[in-house]
Structure 1
Amino acid sequence: MRILHTSDWHLGRSFHREGMLGHQAAYVDHLLEVVEAERVDLVVVAGDVYDRALPHVDAVRLADETLARLAASRAKVVITSGNHDSAQRLGFSSRLIDAAGVFIRTDAASVGTPVLLDDDHGPVAVYGIPYLDPDAVREPWGLTGRSHEAALAEAMRRVRSDLGSRNARSIVLAHAFVAGAQPSDSERDISVGGVSLVSTSVFDGIDYTALGHLHGPHTLTDAVRYSGSPLAYSFSEAAQVKGSWLVDLGSDGTTHAEFVEAPVPRPLARIRGTIDELLADPRLDVHETSWVQATLTDDSRPMQAMERLRARFPHTLVLAFEPAGGDPTAVPLARTTGRSDHAIALDFVSELRGSAATEAESALLLDACDACAEDPDADVLLTEPVG
């Protein structure tokens, strides 16, 4: 059986306020092309189909179109819910959708009941484990511990109990933070009571475990892998190669996996230097069409830095300022007692930018302070001269 393992689509997500739906639709096109070109028998989606529990109507429309196209393809499909999904909304009408060969598993109560498929070598039991909130399953499952490992260990006990009665190869889908993988900035923290890690040993004895949640691809063992997200959702993912795993499940349960890279509609770049260096360096030509995170190291904050950078890098989205030799985490500490709001604001500008406010800026700040004050005259009397 040939399996395509993907996860963490996050349909409807934006990237620093830039819409991603068009790029996500392009990934769906790629996914269907791989299914046909590689003669995929089963597509597994290990959670976080949507980016939020109440997805935008355009994201729902893309999901509907995607599922219809997959149902019409040569492949069967098994989908589980992730921590970003609403299990009830994603699982709506799942019993009807099963008839189309798309199996959506979002109910914790159904854990241990597999989707049964067949190939030339016999049956394959596919167990979809939705994201399990330890607090939600602790009482109904009688868990003694309050952790993700306790919840998944019980889920896998139920899987093994069912699998023991079958002469079948096994596939498990799970959405969790499994030890040995490196998270990025764009995953939501799922820790409960400070415990979020799950050991790979939880999945021992399963022929292939398709993981979701982390956005980078990871091979924890030959049989336990993360596919990662199909697109980058934070600049911390700039160096990650995105895609999915193409897994061949043999007659004896052994697996062979190859990574299929996804298209990159717009690459990410993190650049650093003084503004003059960034605007002049010919080595940065390659990033002129990228989404850019720029960190300026000028001694003082350049005027109109974002506008100047976007003249060369029009897709600059994030701008940071870390002067050479400075402490980017330092917080300006100024004496505030007995001083006017205007004077404190002037000190803040000086500390943040590395140079004093101009007379025009000082006048603008004074107007702003007056507009917020209950008694504007009181602030004017306390105002200190610029410089």
Structure 2
Amino acid sequence: MRILHTSDWHIGRTFHGVDLLADQRRALEALATVVREQSVDVVVVPGDIYDRAVPNADAVRLCNKAFEAIRDAGAVIVATSGNHDSPARLGAGSAFSAAGGLHLFTTVDAVDRPVVLTDEHGDVAFYGIPYLEPDATRTELGVPGARSHAAVLQAAMGRIAADLATRDSSVRSVVLAHAFVIGGEGTGSERSISVGGVETVPASLFGGIDYVALGHLHSPQTIDDHIRYSGSPLPYSFGERSHRKAAWLVDIDGSGGRVVTRVDLPVVRGLSVLEGTLEDLCTEDRFDFATEHYVSAVLTDAVRPVDAMRRLQERFPHAVHLEWKRPAGVDSGSYREKVQGRSDREVLDSFLADVRSAPSSSEVELLDRAVENVTGQQDSTSASPVEHEWVRSA
């Protein structure tokens, strides 16, 4: 049986405020193309199908079209809810959708009731473990004292092991789980699932399973030969800009043996972090490669530029993030050290220079009056605009 493992679609997510639905549509269309070209039998999606518990109408329409495209390409779909999904909403109509080849696992009581699919070698049982919030699921799982993800996931795997024990020994098994397994590496764009500081679970919980399809972490990675994360089909943080997104193509033979092949997904839009002065970023040829990328710019101008994002977006239409890096050589000591021995006006001048630019002559007068109103006396640095400029430059 040929399985395509993908996860963490996060349909409806934004990237620094930018709508990603068009990018997500292209990524999901690429998955349907892989299904068709590689003659995939089953697509497994272990959680975070949506980015929000209550997705908007456009996100729901895109998800439905993605499921339809995968089914039309020839694969059955097995999916679970993740920590971003609403189990109740995602699972609505699941009994009906199963008749059309879309099997959704969103409830605790279904973890030991697999979808059983058949190939020329016999049966393969697909078990879906939705994201398990310990406080919400421990009683239903029969472990009322559980406080960690490991404890509730162990209880769920115990149920799966008990069900497998009742089946013929020739039945092969696949488990979908949404969890942070020890040995995995986060990218920074995942939402924390820690409870009391304990969010990780040991890989040993999945012993005896032929293939474990994991969701939650956003980069493709291998925990063990039979335990893998596919990662998300798109990068969702600049920390993922060097990642090549992928899915796993898993061939399971009649004895449960696996041949796993990485399938790289197309880069929909690149991500770049660029550093330099605003003028350099907007004019130098060496930044041409990033004109169509999502751009995070780090400005190194001596003074924070005004209206920098507008100017950046004239060259980089998809610039989404901007920060100013304090120039080298500027004192970065503690606040107490910076203000010690300085007058109120000098502190105000320094603050304005740091966050914007040095105050103009008219602003100097306003600051003088403000200080005088608060302190009841004229600041010694306000003798004249000329003297003021000398104090600031000194």
Is TM-score (shorter-chain normalized) higher than 0.5?
Answer: yes
The residue aligned with 1:358 is: 360
Judge which range, 139-148 or 75-84, deviates more. 139-148
The residue aligned with 1:161 is: 162
Q: After superposition, what is the alpha-carbon deviation per residue over 1:314-341, rounded to whole angstroms, capped at 9, x for unaligned? A: 32111112224369997756879xx99x
The counterpart of 2:212, out of the listed 205, 209, 213, is: 209
**Aligned-pair distance for 1:360?**
6.0
Q: In 1, are the aligned partners of 2:108 and 2:140 still within 8 Å (CA)?
A: no
Whole-angstrom CA distance in 2 between matches of 1:347 and 1:182: 42
The residue aligned with 1:373 is: none
The counterpart of 1:199, out of the listed 191, 202, 212, is: 202
**Aligned-pair distance for 1:261?**
1.7
The counterpart of 1:242, out of the listed 228, 240, 245, is: 245
Whole-angstrom CA distance in 2 between matches of 1:316 and 1:383: 45
The residue aligned with 2:117 is: 117
The residue aligned with 2:50 is: 50
SS of the counterpart of 2:321? Answer: strand
1:23-172 equivalences in 2 (<5 Å): 23-143=23-143, 144-167=145-168, 168-172=171-175
Structure 1 gap segments, 5+ residues each: 371-376
Q: In 1, are the aligned partners of 2:25 and 2:62 still within 8 Å (CA)?
A: yes
Whole-angstrom CA distance in 2 between matches of 1:100 and 1:12: 24
Distance 1:323 1:106, change over 3 A: same
Distance 1:157 1:317, change over 3 A: same
1:264-283 equivalences in 2 (<5 Å): 264-283=267-286
Whole-angstrom CA distance in 2 between matches of 1:327 and 1:237: 31
Whole-angstrom CA distance in 2 between matches of 1:309 and 1:331: 32
**Aligned-pair distance for 1:301?**
2.1
**Aligned-pair distance for 1:5?**
0.5
The residue aligned with 1:296 is: 299
1:8-27 equivalences in 2 (<5 Å): 8-27=8-27
Distance 1:306 1:4, change over 3 A: same
Distance 1:310 1:159, change over 3 A: same
TM-score of the pair, normalised by structure 1: 0.88
Q: In 2, are the aligned partners of 1:80 and 1:106 still within 8 Å (CA)?
A: yes
> RMSD of the alignment, in Å?
2.8
**Aligned-pair distance for 1:106?**
0.1
Residue identity over aligned pairs, in percent, reads 45
The residue aligned with 1:317 is: 320
The residue aligned with 1:181 is: 184
The counterpart of 1:348, out of the listed 348, 351, 376, is: 351
Q: In 2, are the aligned partners of 1:332 and 1:352 still within 8 Å (CA)?
A: no
Whole-angstrom CA distance in 1 between matches of 2:151 and 2:286: 51
Q: After superposition, what is the alpha-carbon deviation per residue over 1:158-200, rounded to whole angstroms, capped at 9, x for unaligned? A: 1111111213101000001111111112110110000001111
**Aligned-pair distance for 1:382?**
7.6
Judge which range, 148-157 or 271-280, deviates more. 271-280
Whole-angstrom CA distance in 2 between matches of 1:241 and 1:35: 19
**Aligned-pair distance for 1:277?**
4.0
The residue aligned with 2:392 is: none
Whole-angstrom CA distance in 1 between matches of 2:121 and 2:177: 25
Q: Does residue 4 in structure 1 map to residue 7 in structure 2?
A: no
Structure 2 gap segments, 5+ residues each: 389-394
Distance 1:204 1:344, change over 3 A: same
SS of the counterpart of 1:79? Answer: strand
Distance 1:328 1:154, change over 3 A: farther
1:213-224 equivalences in 2 (<5 Å): 213-224=216-227
Q: In 2, are the aligned partners of 1:45 and 1:80 still within 8 Å (CA)?
A: yes
Whole-angstrom CA distance in 2 between matches of 1:331 and 1:191: 33
Count of residue pairs brought into register by the alignment: 375
